Amino acid sequence: MAVIETIIPIFLIIAFGYVIQRRGFLKEHFIQEMNRFVFLFPLPVLIFTGIVKSNPGDVDLIHILSAILPTGIILCVSLVVGLVIGLKQGRLGSFVQTTFHGNVSYIGLAVLFYMLGEEGLKRGSILIGILILVNNSLAIAVLSWTQHQHKNILRTFLPIIKTPVIVATFCGIAILYLKVPIPGVLLKGMSIVANIALPMALIIIGASITIGTIRKSFALSGTVTFFKLIALPACSLLLCELFGIPPKEMLPGIILLATPTATTSYIMAREIGGDIDIASGAITLSTLTSPLTFIFWASMLH
């Protein structure tokens, strides 16, 4: 019951964002500007403060591998499945990248924080930075390879490293391991800014949902949703059992891997020649069904 009481309010805020957008209270331009603001300021600050407050021993190489290796495994499996069912070029690329590219920065961080509190934020922030870097890099590589745009891959990769969340991750890790002191007043001020991130991010997710797109690619969106919400975290769970990681230590990584498909999957599909219908359908269907799978995984491991 405690898990349900934690998860459901998060998705009620997403539903609230959807309703007020449909009612016309949020215009498309305002949603884009709000998303840009959260992406540039509160979200990087939230991740940065989470990292600098954490214990370096909370996340080690085994924890990182238990998140990265399943991502690579699902990528390979979904690529084979896509080829077997006859997907080509942009459709293949979009199908594959949506099976592992999760919304760790918005929904993942919110679930971790509201479920596990400051402790979840501390333990999850480093993993989030690493997963954002890995997921975006692999997504670009897959889309470029399926579109035969190999020459542009390096140039497309470079902006990822300069994104605010990645910069905040590297800066936070550097300060954490170098033990650079941060004045308490500054840290409190940053925490106030960071507190803006999650409520705004959840409203943005809701306002961006387009249910009509599911009908255009329901079968593929359903397959993606299975890979993303069930197969990927299950693969991580098996590896955690193999590595001997205790259930409570598994939870942050598995929650992040069980996040619905990232909204940036749609942006990448549009910019690198993917299939925007598959990307949009996968984002919407996985987001709508993720409350149930979050409750399942959290109940199993909490």
pLDDT string in tens for the chain (302-residue length): 567 888 889 899 999 999 999 999 988 888 888 888 988 889 889 889 888 887 777 778 888 899 999 999 999 999 999 999 999 888 999 999 999 999 998 898 888 888 888 777 777 888 888 888 888 888 888 888 887 655 555 665 666 677 788 888 889 888 988 889 999 999 999 999 988 888 988 898 888 888 877 777 788 999 999 999 999 999 999 999 888 888 778 889 999 999 999 888 887 777 777 888 888 889 999 999 999 999 999 888 86
Distance CA 185, CA 168 (A): 19
Listed residue (109, 110, 87, 111) closest to 99, CA to CA:
87
Tokens 């996340």 belong to residue? 59
Look at residue 223 in the predicted model and tell me its pLDDT. 95
Please give the CATH architecture assigned to the domain spanning 2-301: Up-down Bundle (1.20)
Look at residue 112 in the predicted model and tell me its pLDDT. 87
Name the DSSP letter for residue 212: G
Look at residue 153 in the predicted model and tell me its pLDDT. 54
Q: Specify whether the backbone of 89 is left (phi greater than 0), alpha (psi in -120 to 50) or beta.
A: left
Tell me phi and psi for residue 261, to 5 degrees. Answer: -60, 135
Question: What are the pLDDT digits (tens) for 163-219?
Answer: 788 888 889 888 988 889 999 999 999 999 988 888 988 898 888 888 877 777 788
Task: Please tell me whether residue 261 adopts helix, strand or coil conformation.
Answer: strand
Distance CA 104, CA 125 (A): 10
Spatial neighbors of 63 by CB under 8 A, at least 6 apart, are 127, 245, 249, 253
Distance CA 160, CA 268 (A): 12
Assess contact for 262 and 287: CB atoms under 8 A: no
H/E element holding 222?
helix 218-226
Look at residue 156 in the predicted model and tell me its pLDDT. 58
Q: Taking the model in full, what pTM does it have? A: 0.84
* Cα-based angle 227, 228, 233 (whole degrees, multiple of 5): 95
Assess contact for 49 and 191: CB atoms under 8 A: yes
